[in-house]
Amino acid sequence: MNDIILETRGLTKRYGGVHALEDANFILRKGEHVAVVGDNGAGKSTFVRQVTGVEQRTSGQIFFDGQEVSHSGPLEAREAGIETVFQTLALADDLDVPSNLYLGRELFKFRLGPFSWLDRRTMRERTLEALKTTAVKIPNVDNPIRNMSGGQRQCVAIARAAAFASKLIIMDEPTAALGVQETAQVENIIRGLKERGVPMILISHNLRQVFDLVDRIVVFRRGRIVASLNRDETDGNDIVSYITGVKGGEVSYA
Amino acid sequence: MAQVTHGLGGLKYDPGKKARPQELNVLVALIVIVAAFEILGRLLMGDSFLFNTRDNIDTLFNQQRLSIIILQVSIVGVLAIGVTQVIISGGIDLSGGSIVGATAMIAMSFAQTALVNGQPNPKAIFGDWAMDLPVIVPVLVGLGCGLVAGLINGSLIAYTRIPPFIATLGMMVTARGLSRWWSNGNPISFPTESFAAIGKGMMPVVIFVALAVLFHVIMTYTKYGKHCYAIGSNEAAARMSGINVNHHKMLVYAIAGILASLAAVVLSSKNLTAQAGMGVMYELDAIAMAVIGGVSLSGGRGSIIGTVLGALIFGVIISGFTFLKLDAYYQEMVKGVIIVAAVVLDQWRQQRRTRG
């Protein structure tokens, strides 16, 4: 069982009377790319928010990298090795690319409390390396990202996650706001992560993308996991049937 | 010919192209204004604004005018440095001018000399124990006032989450009240010689320039500066990235308070007196200098260099109007117009950039 990076047992989240997530049993193995699909309000984002520590679960257990965890916030999850690319970009528009990559984890030449001296050259060099390994092309990393297109900014956000994610990347609809070419670029980056063996959970509405990219598809419906299907053993119609509830009761383990 | 590459989405871009720094525009504006005064001076007054026209002095420029230009903005300029880092980190500080007033009164009370022309100091606030104290005492007391005021601003903004405008407006009114209450509105005068030396001659300029260099370095090369820009740019992202936003805000407003009180020490030393009305409108002049210098009121953009250039524009306009023998009333009106014009120009620039 050592190849399991993330496991949830009976994960449940209620907002007052609303059962947003009910008894979710989920397993992600090392190097595996899994898509989480489902209709709006099916519990996908709720599920991610529990795993990344943005919200605190009502009940259930989360095991990460062999240990039961209880992240009190996204920072703690990040320190444990979970990087998240959020739907809303968590980037500072007025800063350049290296500053955004190293936001909150700057490198220093010497430390002097708040007036610690930034090691700008090393951060810039490592940024270029990180962009290279994730195959992100940015015209000029020294420009503030305000001047960049949505796709380029999303690439910066993904490169940031990829550069630091030691154990797991979670992407919440990374291509929702992007054009065709930009989407292709982001998908290439995701394939690169697969080759490097970085496990990923991808939330997406785009079934074509899901079938292109991941090994396994987990379907959420009304707060429950209703299916967990290997990509090669299913097809689009099958998935849609599960999403809309035409097919499927419940699976005990996803 | 610029190198053109095909990037993301097949769009062409020029990798060598960089956005023109805002400071360059401000510098151009400064040069244009100086040139305008030079031309108007030659036409209307038959005299040069910038250059030396007297035969008995052997310099190219009119050094007296140049030193007055920078001297008259250097004290407000110190405030403007503090306000610049506040605005860059997404806040605003309206309390600077009142902190100047309160600090000047309190610091001066500890800087008095016992004997004036052989007579006891007629403006004495405290008893003999507070007379002829070493200069370090009033300076530290003064800076302490600014620190306390700044920390109150910062903690209100960071922990009670009230808007910076309201928190510092409250401090503005309170500190002004304190400065009037301190000596029942009476001026406090006759400082010791060593205290008077702080703001003597061109000392305010030296202090202003030294602080400008120091804060330029801090804003550009240190974690503190980087986090100011990050918080002003996207506070939620900064928080998410692990920056302790609350601590940072405390520090930002504390530094702004200390700089305001430093300006107060220099000002009261220069004037050899402290009055309850000192520093009125300084906060707005300081904000105006920053805005003219390209600091964006929505946070995240601007620089100390820009603010220094903005301060120089201020000084040139005041000097120029005096030189043209125009009424001080016109100065105020033109200052107002320039502030609005600077913001309008900045908006246009940004709209063009997002479209292009």
Q: Strand pairing partners for A201?
A: A34, A170
Predicted pLDDT at B9? 44
Neighbours of B116 (CB within 10 A): 14
Predicted pLDDT at B254? 98
Q: Count of domains in chain A? A: 1
B53 touches chain A (CB under 8 A): no
Please, what's the b/e burial string for A213-231 (b: 16 or more CB within 10 A of its CB; e: otherwise)? bbebbbbbbebbbbbbbeb
Residue A107, pLDDT > 70, answer yes
Q: In which band, very low, low, confident or very high, does the pLDDT at B15 lie, cut at 50, 70 and 90?
A: very low
Return all residues near A94 (Cβ < 8 A) that are at least 6 apart: A144, A146, B229, B232, B233, B300, B301
Residue B150 near residue B74, CB atoms below 8 Å: no
Residues of A in contact with B90 (CB under 8 A): none
Query: Could you tell me if residue A251 is inside a domain?
Result: no
CA nearest B241 in A: which residue?
A104
Predicted pLDDT at B284? 92
Predicted pLDDT at B2? 44
Residues of B in contact with A152 (CB under 8 A): 7-8
Mean pLDDT of all residues belonging to chain A: 87
**Dihedral, B239, B243, B244, B245 alpha carbons, nearest 10:** -60
Over residues A170-190, mean pLDDT: 85
Q: Which two tokens stand for residue B11?
A: 């769009």
CATH number of the domain enclosing A134: 3.40.50.300
Predicted pLDDT at B139? 97
Query: Could you tell me if residue A253 is inside a domain?
Result: no
Residue the block writes with tokens 């804060």: B215
Q: In which band, very low, low, confident or very high, does the pLDDT at B6 lie, cut at 50, 70 and 90?
A: very low
Residue B222 phi/psi, 5-degree rounding, is -115, 165
pLDDT > 70: percent of chain B: 93
Query: Could you tell me if residue A44 is inside a domain?
Result: yes
Query: Could you tell me if residue A35 is inside a domain?
Result: yes
With CB atoms and an 8 Å threshold, state whether B10 touches A78.
Answer: no
Residue the block writes with tokens 């984890």: A105
B147 touches chain A (CB under 8 A): no
Over residues A182-189, mean pLDDT: 85
Fold of B22-47+61-355: ABC transporter involved in vitamin B12 uptake, BtuC (1.10.3470)
Distance (Å, whole) CA B86 – CA A112:
21
Q: Which two tokens stand for residue A52?
A: 């990344």
Residues of B in contact with A108 (CB under 8 A): 223
Residue B304, pLDDT > 80, answer yes
With CB atoms and an 8 Å threshold, state whether B230 touches A74.
Answer: no
pLDDT digits (tens, 9 = 90+) for A7-36: 999 999 998 888 899 899 999 999 999 999
Mean pLDDT of all residues belonging to chain B: 89
pLDDT > 70: percent of chain A: 96
Q: Specify the DSSP class assigned to residue B51.
A: B
Residue A248 near residue A219, CB atoms below 8 Å: yes
Neighbours of A110 (CB within 10 A): 8
Residue B134 near residue B191, CB atoms below 8 Å: no
Residue-range domain boundaries for chain B: 22-47+61-355
Instruction: Considering only the beta carbons, identify the residue of A91, A120, A149 that sits closest to B8.
Output: A149
Residues of A in contact with B303 (CB under 8 A): none
Neighbours of A241 (CB within 10 A): 15
Q: Is residue B249 classed as helix, strand or coil in its secondary structure?
A: helix
Q: In which band, very low, low, confident or very high, does the pLDDT at A254 lie, cut at 50, 70 and 90?
A: low
Would you list which residues of chain A are within 8 Å, Cβ to Cβ, of chain B? 74-75, 78, 86, 89-95, 99, 103-106, 108, 112, 114-118, 120, 137, 139-140, 142-144, 146-147, 149, 151-152, 155, 179, 181-182, 185
Q: Is residue B17 classed as helix, strand or coil in its secondary structure?
A: coil
Residue A134, pLDDT > 90, answer no
Residue B216 near residue B303, CB atoms below 8 Å: yes
B249 touches chain A (CB under 8 A): no
Over residues A198-202, mean pLDDT: 92
Query: Could you tell me if residue A252 is inside a domain?
Result: no
Residue B4, pLDDT > 60, answer no
Least confident of A173-187, B13-27, B39-53, B124-138: B13-27
- What is the sign of the dihedral through the CA atoms of B334, B20, B312 and B40? negative
Q: Structural domain of residue A45, as residue ranges?
A: 4-244
Q: Mean pLDDT: which of A67-76, B4-13, B52-61, B197-206 is highest?
A: B197-206
Residue B289, pLDDT > 50, answer yes
